[in-house]
Structure 1
Amino acid sequence: MTGKSGPRRVTSADVAREAKVSRATVSYVLNDAAHQKIPEATRQRVREAAARLGYAPSAAARSLRRGRSDIVLGLLPDWPIEHVLGRLVQQLTDALAQHELTFLVHSAAHPARPLREVWRALTPAAVLALDAFPEAEADAVRAAGIEVVMAVHGSARSGHRSPLVPEEPIGAAQARYLGRAHRRLGYAYPDLARLGVLARPRLDGVRKVCAELGLPEPDVRTVPVDPDGAVEAVKAWLAADPPVTGVCAFNDDVAMAVLAALRWLGLRAPRDLAVIGVDDIRAAALARPPLTTIVRDTEAIARGLARRIVDTLDGARVSADPIEDPLLVLVRVSA
């Protein structure tokens, strides 16, 4: 029995025949090999032949040339993949591509393939985990010859004393903004335990600024993204002694749940309760009232992470300081 095969992959031999040069010349030209005295006319002929045939060097060939893979394995924790996380993944893909690295993402959401199977199959140049990375797993990765293991929210013995991208400044920025006009703040904590790695330091930032401003400890309430749970939290804040008049929410989704609860109770932000979110998701500007929020520079984060990975791969000195993440308070109506 015979079957029809798909189109044959164009090889460097095809390019060599088309350009009437040797395969070595094709390799020198397309790989920009130094110290090769090849006439510019020949170089142009090789490039045109490669373009005409649609030739692209294989990943295996690139890896052989560099002495390592061009893959960076990105490990996503079991977090909701929504607007901001999706944007960061795209920006990391773009930032790493500028260094001829390919960003491949693996989600830990159940029932994902075990992580160890993934990195063994891919043998990436580097592993970037958005959450903390287990030390035992990091040791196993390095033992397999993968030298770069970086974790955004956990060191994995990377030498970073603090997270690469700290979350505490976000809560601090929220509290500083509301603390100018409010004497008691609340914190709307998410009801997904797996988001604690982000929520806890953000809450720590709120607490720190409250202490600096001489305000009471923030009144922390878990706010699910549903009307009933959010209504109960709002009632508790308003009934506190003294009452909460400004709420720092974990993110925009939680903030909009608080705004919905206020409307359900016949109340209004910011008159009855000011609310500030994080992330500036697309719906934030359409909320009732439009949501004041903290905007992160995810592009700067992506560039910074890519730079750390490339520098580490190249053996260059890598800063131990957190990546700069300029924060902007986008003022709308809710606070």
Structure 2
Amino acid sequence: MSGASRRRRVTSGDVAREAGVSRATVSYVLNDTPHQKISETTRERVREAVARLGYAPSAAARSLRKGRSDIVLGLLPDWPIEHVLGRLVQQLTSAFAEHGLTFLVHSAARPARPVREIWKALTPVAVLALDELPESEADAMRAAGIDVVMAVHGSGRGRNSPPLVSEEPIGAAQARHLAASHHRLGYACPDLAGLGVLARPRLDGVRRVCAELGLPEPDVRVIPFDPDGAAAAVKAWRAAEPRVTGICAFNDAVALSVLVALRSLGLRVPDDMAVIGVDDTPAAALAQPPLTTVARDADALARGLARRLVDALDGRRIPVDPLRDPLRVLVRTSA
């Protein structure tokens, strides 16, 4: 056979032969099984054999031993995986690891395999969808034996279940910051329909604050990621009656597009138009002028999501209200 042959997986039987003990002894040592009279010399011999052979217990074997899988399947929608989403995935991985769970992520970006094929192949103990999850899909997962199915932005836990995390306070925080010195606000939407599950509630937060303060309805514009399209939106805001002077942007990327458009039109920020973003991405502080933005605590958010999922696995009652999401407005020059 030409080329490198596929190496056979090392088994606990191989470790037993290498260490000169039974497979049961290997299992007792690796699982630290209590009430087993195994000398420290034997334990060390087993550990050395494991290291020499590079043995790692299979996921299936761990599942049989524990009575359930240790995998939490994270379902990512077809969103751009930028700084904030990437950081949340990292924090979720760490948060689940603290509970002895492995967080595996599947992205729906095409041409990905259908989600149903993935969870059927993995048989995870739980599924955490970052987007909305159709109840029919959640029902199929439960019928297949997946213990807990949750969706960060709604459904999955029961008919018409509310989101685990609310985006509405983000828009409200933006609007309150700008309303102190601006009497007509605009909202800059992303030019990507899939982000509507995030953009709609953020816009609702802006609308709510405007209504509470007696301000006009916010002027909503989609901001494409090209200079001419963004400039056209800025011109429309400037021509509105009353004129829009403060912009709540969906996120920092959209806010930066608005800043570029303002600069191309010779307008001053924040004198002619103020802009506030969301996410505190690295580019926000480097922008000209530096971008005022709403920052959320990704670590606290990840720990809260992990805690709720683990509580559900353990049969504890889960609160209906969304998680508390600590928000901070980082005030810079743009607003």
TM-score range, shorter chain: over 0.9
Query: 2:19 and 2:281 mapped to 1: Cα distance?
Result: 52
- The alignment status of 1:329 with 2:321, answered yes or no, reads no
TM superposition shift of 1:252: 0.7
Alignment match, 1:145: 145
Between 106-115 and 80-89, the greater mean CA deviation after superposition: 106-115
Query: 2:251 and 2:220 mapped to 1: Cα distance?
Result: 14
Query: 1:51 and 1:320 mapped to 2: Cα distance?
Result: 47
Using a 3 Å threshold, how does the CA distance of structure 1 residues 310 and 43 change in structure 2: closer, same or farther?
farther
Q: What whole-Å deviation, never above 9, does each CA across 1:25-64 have from its counterpart, x for those lacking one? A: 2212211324434455544443344334332211111111
SS at match of 1:141: helix
Alignment match, 1:47: 47
Note if contact 1:159-1:320 (Cα within 8 Å) is conserved in structure 2.
no
Q: What whole-Å deviation, never above 9, does each CA across 1:79-108 have from its counterpart, x for those lacking one? A: 112111111122222222233322222222
- The alignment status of 1:208 with 2:208, answered yes or no, reads yes
Q: TM-score normalised to the size of structure 1? A: 0.92
Note if contact 2:151-2:157 (Cα within 8 Å) is conserved in structure 1.
no
Using a 3 Å threshold, how does the CA distance of structure 1 residues 19 and 320 change in structure 2: closer, same or farther?
farther
Query: 2:292 and 2:4 mapped to 1: Cα distance?
Result: 60
Given residue 308 of structure 1, which amino acid in structure 2 is its aligned partner? R
Note if contact 1:294-1:327 (Cα within 8 Å) is conserved in structure 2.
yes
Using a 3 Å threshold, how does the CA distance of structure 1 residues 160 and 326 change in structure 2: closer, same or farther?
farther
Q: What whole-Å deviation, never above 9, does each CA across 1:135-166 have from its counterpart, x for those lacking one? A: 11111111111121111111224478531011
Superposition pairs of residues 221-300 of structure 1, within 5 angstroms:
221-300=221-300
Query: 2:105 and 2:240 mapped to 1: Cα distance?
Result: 45
Note if contact 1:153-1:166 (Cα within 8 Å) is conserved in structure 2.
yes
Between 318-327 and 79-88, the greater mean CA deviation after superposition: 318-327
Superposition pairs of residues 296-335 of structure 1, within 5 angstroms:
296-335=296-335
TM superposition shift of 1:280: 1.3
Q: CA RMSD in A?
A: 2.1
SS at match of 1:222: strand
Query: 1:293 and 1:193 mapped to 2: Cα distance?
Result: 23
Given residue 47 of structure 1, which amino acid in structure 2 is its aligned partner? R
Alignment match, 2:71: 71
Given residue 183 of structure 1, which amino acid in structure 2 is its aligned partner? H
Query: 1:235 and 1:104 mapped to 2: Cα distance?
Result: 45
Query: 1:312 and 1:32 mapped to 2: Cα distance?
Result: 28
Given residue 186 of structure 1, which amino acid in structure 2 is its aligned partner? G
SS at match of 1:131: coil
Given residue 184 of structure 2, which amino acid in structure 1 is its aligned partner? R
Q: What whole-Å deviation, never above 9, does each CA across 1:170-224 have from its counterpart, x for those lacking one? A: 0011011111121111111112111111000000001111122222211111111
Note if contact 1:149-1:158 (Cα within 8 Å) is conserved in structure 2.
no
Q: Which 5+ residue runs of structure 2 have no aligned equivalent?
A: none
- The alignment status of 1:25 with 2:25, answered yes or no, reads yes
Note if contact 1:182-1:246 (Cα within 8 Å) is conserved in structure 2.
yes
Query: 2:273 and 2:50 mapped to 1: Cα distance?
Result: 64
TM superposition shift of 1:112: 2.2
Given residue 85 of structure 2, which amino acid in structure 1 is its aligned partner? L
Q: What whole-Å deviation, never above 9, does each CA across 1:2-43 have from its counterpart, x for those lacking one? A: 885344433223333444433212212211324434455544
Query: 1:161 and 1:140 mapped to 2: Cα distance?
Result: 17
TM superposition shift of 1:279: 0.8
Given residue 259 of structure 2, which amino acid in structure 1 is its aligned partner? L
Query: 1:117 and 1:290 mapped to 2: Cα distance?
Result: 45
Superposition pairs of residues 114-125 of structure 1, within 5 angstroms:
114-125=114-125
Q: Which 5+ residue runs of structure 1 have no aligned equivalent?
A: none
Query: 1:138 and 1:11 mapped to 2: Cα distance?
Result: 36
- The alignment status of 1:109 with 2:115, answered yes or no, reads no
Alignment match, 2:196: 196
Given residue 201 of structure 2, which amino acid in structure 1 is its aligned partner? P
Query: 1:316 and 1:43 mapped to 2: Cα distance?
Result: 38
Query: 1:277 and 1:18 mapped to 2: Cα distance?
Result: 60
- The alignment status of 1:135 with 2:135, answered yes or no, reads yes
Given residue 71 of structure 1, which amino acid in structure 2 is its aligned partner? I
